[in-house]
Amino acid sequence: MVQATRRLIWATLLLSISAHAAIGTITEQVNNPPQIQRAKTTLTGSKGTGVDMADAITTKQGKVGIVFADDTKVQVNENSKLVIDEFVYDPKNKDAGKLALNMASGTVRYASGAIAHNNPNKVAINTPTATVAVRGTDFTATVDELGSSTFILLPSCPRKNMLPDEIERYCVTGKIDVMNDAGTVTLDQAFQATKVSARNVAPTRPVTLHLTEDAIGNMLILAPPQEIKTAQQRQQAEKLPAESALSQDFLKGVDLSSVLVAENNQVYTNALQRNLLDQDFLESMLQIMNDQLAAEFGNLLAAPKNQLLPDYRKSSGVEATVDAISVQLCRSDANSNTSCVTTPKGQNSTIVQTQSGNVTITNRINAGGNTFITTKQN
């Protein structure tokens, strides 16, 4: 009877251990170890540490490599965050596998395992602006501080740092679909890339980058490759309506709203023209107070507002720089301290800039509301 009881206890313990087995393991760890947020507990991740579903892995001055139970490999670079949303794997049942990862910030590299090879439709890799459908391949995702995502398709090679002719001979390149609410693009060639600036903005057309794997990392946030910048500019240009002299109707009445928008656009400047120190700060302060009172009590004679910057007033001391891709708002105070915020042109943002402790200027980009950015400068 005692022997039977002991066997039952051991069986229960084994079942308990197996039910809580880790879904993956940190197999490499360089420099500072990451933090693993597991429910209300914060763990230090070092080589050999197991990871579980719903873990959030955050790195600072270090990076880690994780291998999941199905041999999916993920590398989390410096100053990055990865969340394991879902992981289901049964080597005896190929149809039961499922993987969902959230690449929240920084740069993360992904290499497919058994789940993607068995059933690509069961793998979903998410960023703030897009979802990746994987077809058994390697790629990186880089997410900047505004949530814009850059995806680069990588060749699957037997070793690192191979030469271009070796990559062509010995490496295999798969496919990924990058999609969001506005569209889908397919990357199917080594080092092809696309950038997605917002959920309601389609991914840019694929471009091929001329760089090595070692150059891919958070440097893409600080210095995006020229190929990606050109792709974004082309995407913006394609949205503009094509007009010619033959297509214009000179007998059509003047659109007063277009005239008002054009007048409002004249207050914009460019980076070379801007002189943030050439301002009358006392006059600006008085004008800001007057604008705030007018907004509070209503001003029926207020000038019409344009759609891109509906709250913008040059008298606030804020200089607006608008190009094909972004909007930058800069303001200097009486102490020559300058505060600048840059956002994607197509994004709905609300910018709140506070200087000298008590001067607060609020501007919306487009309709505002989706993204809030607050700066304080004393």
Residue ranges per structural domain of the chain: 20-237, 256-377
pTM of the predicted protein model: 0.58
Tabulate helix, strand, coil % of the chain (nearest 5). Answer: 25, 35, 40
Length of the chain: 378
Smallest CA-to-CA distance from 367 within 340, 343, 341, 349 is with: 349
Q: Would you give the DSSP letter of residue 305?
A: P
Helix (H) / strand (E) containing 227? helix 226-239
d(CA 51, CA 74): 12
> What confidence score (pLDDT) does residue 3 get?
58
Q: Please state, in angstroms and rounded to a whole number, the distance separating the CA atoms of residues 331 and 312.
A: 12
Exposure on the CB side of residue 181, measured as CA atoms within 13 A: 7
Domain 20-237, CATH among 1.10.3720.10, 2.60.120.1440, 3.20.20.140, 3.40.720.10:
2.60.120.1440
- Pairwise CA distance, residues 242 & 109, whole Å: 40
Contact 90, 61 (CB under 8 A): no
Q: Give me the tens of pLDDT residue by residue for the chain, a chain 378 residues long.
A: 555 555 554 444 444 434 457 899 999 999 999 999 999 899 999 999 999 999 999 999 999 999 999 999 999 999 999 999 999 998 888 888 999 999 999 999 999 999 998 888 889 999 999 999 987 789 999 998 888 999 999 888 777 766 767 777 778 888 999 999 999 999 999 889 999 999 999 999 999 887 766 666 555 555 666 777 788 788 877 765 544 444 455 455 444 444 444 444 444 444 444 444 444 444 455 555 555 555 544 443 444 456 888 888 877 788 888 877 888 888 887 677 788 888 888 888 888 888 876 778 888 888 887 788 888 877
Structure tokens at 285: 């302060």
pLDDT of res. 352: 87
DSSP 60-81: SSEEEEEEETT--EEEE-TT-E
Q: How many CA atoms lie within 13 A of 83 on its CB side?
A: 10
Q: Are 285 and 359 in contact (CB under 8 A)?
A: yes
Of the chain, the end-to-end C-alpha distance in Å amounts to 76
**Given its phi and psi angles, is residue 257 left (phi above 0), alpha (psi -120 to 50 degrees) or beta?**
alpha
For residue 216, the model assigns a pLDDT of: 66
